Amino acid sequence: MADSLGNGEIASRLQSAYPAFVSGVEGNEVVFKDGSRLPLSDGRDKPFDAWLADPDIRDMFRFKYPRGAPALPPARDFDPGRARNAQFFSKIYGDCRKPGFGSSLTTITWLPSKAAQHIQISRLNGVAEHLSAVSRELDALPAKFDVFLVPAAGGYVCRPIAGTAQRSGHGYGIAIDVATRRSHYWRWASGGPGGGHYRNDIPMEIVDIFEKHGFIWGGRWYHYDTMHFEYRPELLPPQK
Ligand SMILES: [Zn+2]
């Protein structure tokens, strides 16, 4: 299940996903445009729990994100994009526990005709522009989709992922939860993954629009969260 990308592929994914921030990979280091560096790999071969709790940058690419695939129950512990290297994301988007973080955020009008809801999201790395593009396309969908979208459950919020010490994508201002009414979340299912069965009602028309604009979907995870979308363009490289 491991997807071992070469350093060259990782470098080009990071450069095209974070063009104002990442200049490349040298040896075992990601080099940023301000001259700072972060390790690409910590050299540890991690079981699933350690992968999730303390991923290095290379670990974020462990699972190949199945863009465009039908929504089927994922294989055990197949969670593409669920691990985030905190140093990397804090470097790009800031640390929400620190003063001044608010200047990285902006407010967009989400689904202007369906909801006109104000959603706080990062203004960095093109996140707000990409989410606005998603919003325009979703807003044009027929009314039968509204139940899955309205009201959105929120964008930015500074909190760890439930049950972990890891910052959620919401803490960086790069994630949005669509409506809870028709959503499924592994922690809400009796028994959790393996006990509760994978369930999804979110139509693929919605998923396709998010993926087209660089957002991954939590409905593709074994630890599924079908209302969750997160801007992770490094996992959605341009299609050849
Ligand atoms: Zn979420």
In a domain, 118, yes or no: yes
Q: How many angstroms separate the alpha carbon of residue 26 from the centre of ligand 1? A: 33
In a domain, 1, yes or no: no
Using the predicted structure, report yes or no on whether residue 85 has a pLDDT greater than 60: yes
Contacts 24+ apart (CB under 8 A), 2-5: 2/62, 2/63, 3/61, 3/62, 3/63, 3/64, 5/58, 5/61
State pLDDT tens for residues 168-179.
999 999 999 999
State pLDDT tens for residues 95-151.
999 999 999 999 999 999 999 999 999 999 999 999 999 999 999 999 999 999 999
In a domain, 240, yes or no: no
Domain that holds residue 29: 7-235
Using the predicted structure, report yes or no on whether residue 163 has a pLDDT greater than 80: no
Q: How many angstroms separate the alpha carbon of residue 227 from the centre of ligand 1? A: 6
Which one, of 110, 118, 120, 124, lies nearest residue 210 by Cα? 110
Q: How many angstroms separate the alpha carbon of residue 179 from the centre of ligand 1? A: 11
Quickly state the pLDDT bin for 153 (edges 50, 70, 90).
very high
In a domain, 14, yes or no: yes
- Greatest alpha-carbon span in the chain: 51
Q: How many angstroms separate the alpha carbon of residue 218 from the centre of ligand 1? A: 8
Which one, of 214, 240, 239, lies nearest residue 81 by Cα? 214
Tell me, what's the pLDDT at 1? 40
State pLDDT tens for residues 189-226.
766 555 568 899 999 999 999 999 999 999 999 999 99
In a domain, 2, yes or no: no
Alpha-carbon distance of 210 to 131, in angstroms, equals: 8
Alpha-carbon distance of 193 to 191, in angstroms, equals: 7
What's the domain count of the chain? 1
Q: How many angstroms separate the alpha carbon of residue 35 from the centre of ligand 1? A: 32
Q: How many angstroms separate the alpha carbon of residue 144 from the centre of ligand 1? A: 23
